[in-house]
């Protein structure tokens, strides 16, 4: 699998990659245990601070790692990673042998993050380091509200082709971009 | 603009249309006033009940209509509506003359909903009637958690081409669907 060399990117501009609704891979780390999960239920919630919310089912092995560490990394896989994305989503970290993890099992390369313990994934186009901003809705709604504290983005491709889940094993692939910039008031851009 | 004849659709399956992250039009109604807003910050939160969360900026004219009525309709526009979507997003309901609203201003046709006061939009492919499920995070995070109580979906096209916002006036268009159904465990579908 191809790896991406990523560069610092302004956290206030991450909507470019996350707002269109792609499937992401959530990496986590807690007390020596690492995991990766596939996630599609998320949304932007603010620019500065860069807030991002997501729903994580409490039956996911990652739930406790994320909840207890109060950190994660949101990684953006490109469309060619679809089979890895599906495999990760269908295999629980709890089922793996004690001496392995999803990085090893699926041939993904962890890379040390700057501000959190959870690792970036080299094979993903972008990685967003998150710290828990508000955990008050985790118990009630499985809802985590994150602040993205650091963003790492590859320079090419500028806009990666992404996967968007529809349920029932079906993905929408992202299509071309179009600009309607001239239709916007300056303050709305 | 084309209109869509919509049919009842199971609310437990609306992820097919909403989970990929499209721009939607939120229609609202309160004490004789109607409005429409463009929205991109939303996520699925459950199947049964069908929960759906969204962030609405408190400066949006729709914010108070939605907050006070505790209802809205989420309408899914197809890609050919892009200029209407942009115009709605750049024009506040507060700027309109007292005797008009965004339906009249933008040539959209309201249709009576079944369970809420807010109208469906005939020119949208799908419309989802919502009642407020949890308003506890509205004051703190502008976050509304809705239960979708009724879904109306056109039969053709089965999968509409949708708009996904990236910021800076730029939209991603949805591309083709692919199936990886065979890679899923039965319980994961």
Residue A176 maps to a domain: yes
Please list the residues that pair with B53 across neighbouring strands. Answer: B43, B145
Q: How confident is the model at residue A187 (pLDDT cuts 50, 70, 90)?
A: confident
Nearest-CA distance from A162 to chain B in Å? 10
* pLDDT of A47 above 90: yes
Say which of B41, B83, B178 has its CB closest to residue A43.
Answer: B41
pLDDT at A62: 96
Number of Cβ within a 10 Å radius of residue A27: 32
- State the pLDDT confidence band at B119, using cuts at 50, 70 and 90: very high
In-domain check, residue A24: yes
Q: Are A20 and B165 inside 8 Å of each other by CB?
A: yes
Domain assignment present for B127: yes
Q: What is the reported pLDDT for A77? A: 98
Residue at token pair 């910021």: B167
* Angular region, B14: left φ>0, alpha ψ -120 to 50, beta rest: alpha
DSSP-assigned letter for residue B177 = E
C-alpha angle A28-A56-A1 in degrees, rounded to nearest 5:
50
Domain count, chain A: 1
CA distance A42 to A53: 5
- Mapped onto helix, strand or coil, the DSSP state of residue A59 is coil
Span A2-11, pLDDT tens digits? 999 999 999 9
**pLDDT at residue A98, rounded to an integer:** 74
Task: Choose among B16, B142, B167: nearest Cβ to A167.
Answer: B16
Under a CB-based contact definition with an 8 Å cutoff, are residues B54 and B104 in contact? no
Please report whether residue B80 resides in a domain. yes
- Tallying the residues shown for chain B, one arrives at 189
Contact A143 B45 (CB under 8 A): yes
pLDDT tens for B67-92 read 999 999 999 999 999 999 999 999 88
Are A19 and B164 within 8 A, CB to CB? yes
Q: What are the chain A neighbours of B78 within 8 Å (beta carbons)?
A: none
Question: For residue A129, what are the CA distances in angstroms to A71, A75, A98, B46, B138?
Answer: 8, 9, 26, 26, 26
Is the model's pLDDT at B118 over the cut of 80?
A: yes
Closest residue on chain A to B52 (Cα): A41
ipTM of the complex: 0.96
pLDDT at B94: 80
Helix residue spans in A21-160 (DSSP H): 61-69, 82-89, 102-106, 138-141
Average pLDDT of the segment spanning A23-49: 97
Structural domain that includes position A26: 6-188
Share of chain B above pLDDT 70, in %: 100
The pLDDT of residue A92: 83
User: Do B167 and A15 lie within an 8 Å CB cutoff?
Assistant: yes
Residue A1 belongs to some domain of the structure: no
Which pLDDT band, with edges at 50, 70 and 90, does B93 fall under?
A: confident
Residues 6+ apart with CB under 8 A from B31: none
Q: Which residues of A147-165 are buried (b: 16+ CB within 10 A; e: fewer)?
A: bbbbbbbbeeeebbbbbbb
CATH number, domain with residue A95? 2.30.110.10
pLDDT of A89-125, one tens digit each?
Answer: 998 878 887 778 899 999 999 999 999 999 999 999 9
User: B143 vs chain A: nearest CA distance in angstroms?
Assistant: 8
Computed over every residue of chain A, the mean pLDDT equals 96
Asked if the structure places residue B1 within a domain, the reply is: no
Binary contact (B170, A177; C-beta < 8 A): yes
Q: Which two tokens stand for residue A188?
A: 């709305």
Shortest CB distance from A172 goes to which of B86, B165, B175?
B175
> A159: nearest CA in chain B?
B172
CA distance A163 to A168: 14
Provide the pairing of β-strand A42-46 with A51-55. antiparallel
Residue A14: HSE in the Cβ half-sphere, 13 Å Cα cutoff: 34
Query: What is the spatial distance between Cα A73 and Cα A70, in angstroms, rounded to a whole number?
Result: 11
pLDDT, chain B, mean: 96
H/E stretch holding B82 reads helix B82-89
Which chain B residues are Cβ-neighbours of A54 within 8 angstroms?
43
Share of chain A above pLDDT 70, in %: 100
Q: pLDDT band for position B100 (50/70/90)?
A: confident
- How would residue B96 be classed by pLDDT, with cut points 50, 70 and 90? confident
Q: How many CB atoms lie within 10 A of CB B140?
A: 11
Cα–Cα dist B3/B16, whole Å:
21
Q: Is the pLDDT of residue B47 over 90?
A: yes
In a domain, A123, yes or no: yes
Q: Is 80 exceeded by the pLDDT of residue B97? A: no
């Amino acid at each position: 699998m191809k790896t991406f060399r990523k560069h610092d990117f302004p956290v206030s501009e991450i909507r470019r990659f996350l707002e269109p609704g792609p499937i992401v891979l959530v990496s986590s780390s807690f007390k020596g245990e690492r995991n990766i999960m596939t996630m599609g239920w998320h949304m932007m919630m603010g620019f500065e601070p860069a807030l991002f919310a997501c729903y994580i089912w409490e039956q996911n092995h990652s739930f406790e790692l994320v909840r207890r560490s109060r950190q994660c990394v949101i990684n953006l896989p490109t469309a060619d990673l679809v089979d890895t994305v599906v495999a990760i989503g269908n295999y629980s970290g709890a089922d793996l042998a004690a001496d392995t993890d999803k990085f090893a099992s699926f041939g993904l390369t962890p890379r040390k993050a700057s501000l959190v313990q959870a690792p970036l994934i080299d094979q993903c186009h972008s990685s967003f380091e998150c710290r828990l901003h508000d955990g008050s809705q985790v118990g009630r709604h499985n809802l985590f509200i994150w602040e993205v504290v650091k963003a790492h983005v590859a320079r090419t491709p500028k806009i990666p082709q992404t996967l968007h889940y529809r349920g029932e094993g079906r993905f929408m692939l992202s299509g071309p971009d179009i600009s309607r910039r001239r239709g916007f008031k300056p303050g709305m851009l």
